[in-house]
Structures are given as C-alpha cells and as structure tokens.
Amino acid sequence: MTDLRETVLWAANRLCQDRLVVGTWGNVSAREENCFWITPSGMPYESLTVSDLVCLDLESGESRGRWKPSSEWRLHAAFYRHRPDIMAIVHTHSIFATAFAVARKTIPAAVEDLAQAVGGSVEVAPYALPGTEELAKNAVQALGKKNAVLLANHGLVAVAGAMEEALKICLLVEKTAKIVLLANSLGSVSLLSQEDIDKMRHFYLWSYGPEKGGEEEA
C-alpha cells in the first residue's frame, strides 16, 4: 500500500510540473484518520522527501515533524473538520484561476467537465490575510458542498476524496478560467442551467468511470 506521504509528495511535484505554482507557494495535504500530512513551509517542492512532510492533529493542531507546516495549515484543518468526505487538498496559485481571484469574480460552470467535477461555479471567498483563521472560515463558507473555491487576491483550493481527483480539479478549474476569458473576448459566455449542472454532477458521482458500473444509483 502506498504511503500517504508519497501521495502528498507526488502531488507537490505535479504542481511544479503542471505550472500551477511558482517557487514555494501553494501547498498539499492528505488526511489520515484524525490527522493530516501537509507540505512544510517555504521549501522547494523538487527537493522534498517524505521525511520533510509534517503531520498535524486535527483536534489540537499540534504538529509532528522536523519542519514548520505550511502557513496555510489552518485552512486545510478547517476543510477537513467541516467536510468528512474530504481526504485531499491542493492549493495553487495558477495564473488564470488567480486572475479571477484577483478580479474577485466567480468562475462560471460554463464547461461540462468543470460542472461535473466541482459541482457548479467556483465561488470567491472574501479576502483575509493568508494563514489566518479568518481566511479559513471564509473559504469553508464559500466552498459549501462543492470541490473548489477561489481565495480573493490569492489563489485556488481544490478538495476531493482522493489526491488524484483534487489535482485534476485544479487543472480543470485553470482550463475553464482560460476558456471563459477567451469566450468573453469572442462575445459572451453561455451558462449551463442549474438543472443540467445537477444532472451532470449526479452522473459524475454515481456513473462516470469504470468502477461505478455504468448504472446510476437512486
């Protein structure tokens, strides 16, 4: 069985490979029962090893490891406490998604794959200083039951039940942000109806993929 820390390390390296971050910004974590593993503060992803990751207790906030945890550990802890279904979190500063965060504009669910994976438009959480409890509270409220949220003037957070899914959501949001900007330059964005979004989300959760069996569940 793959060590959960290896999964966090894999995702952290993908952030650089997929150009979702620059330098040491952004962070990744994965949940394990009542604690979670998170990338350390201010260390280059390319040089990280599993021994560099930090374990934090979800209830006490106490950390275990040789380095300080990411400054956004409160944000990760808040998501895990609020949503038991969340097992992995990826926070990026990708260009197009962050452009929407800076403009403080929602990324609409105008593309089918985003609607399916996120569950609707990607909302913007009100601004708060990075690393604060206020930022964590704002982000949790703006996320709701969806799987992605923008942090005003900051970046994107994607959550999921598995690390691969959280990373995929980051890529889908970035792609959609770029598509929406291009569509606006051509005229306007045609939005999907909430009814269609809900149907596609249901299909994605219960029927999409070989492990789902191809039949919708009631």
Q: Which of 72, 133, 165, 217 is catalytic?
A: 72
CA angle 208, 93, 61 (to 5 degrees): 85
CA distance 123 to 147: 10
Query: What pLDDT, on the 0 to 100 scale, is given for residue 213?
Result: 56
What is this structure's pTM? 0.92
Q: Are strands 124-125 and 148-151 parallel, antiparallel or unpaired?
A: parallel
Q: Do 203 and 117 form a contact (C-beta atoms < 8 A)?
A: no
Query: What pLDDT, on the 0 to 100 scale, is given for residue 210?
Result: 66
Query: What pLDDT, on the 0 to 100 scale, is given for residue 65?
Result: 75
Active site residue 72: yes
Instruction: Answer whether CATH 3.90.1150.10 is correct for domain 4-187.
Output: no
- Kindly give the confidence (pLDDT) of every residue in the chain, 218 residues in length, as a single tens digit, with 9 standing for 90 and above: 368 999 999 999 999 999 999 888 999 999 998 999 999 988 888 889 999 999 999 987 777 778 899 999 999 999 999 999 999 999 999 999 999 999 999 999 999 999 999 999 999 999 999 999 999 999 999 999 999 999 999 999 999 999 999 999 999 999 999 999 999 999 989 999 999 999 999 999 888 876 765 544 43
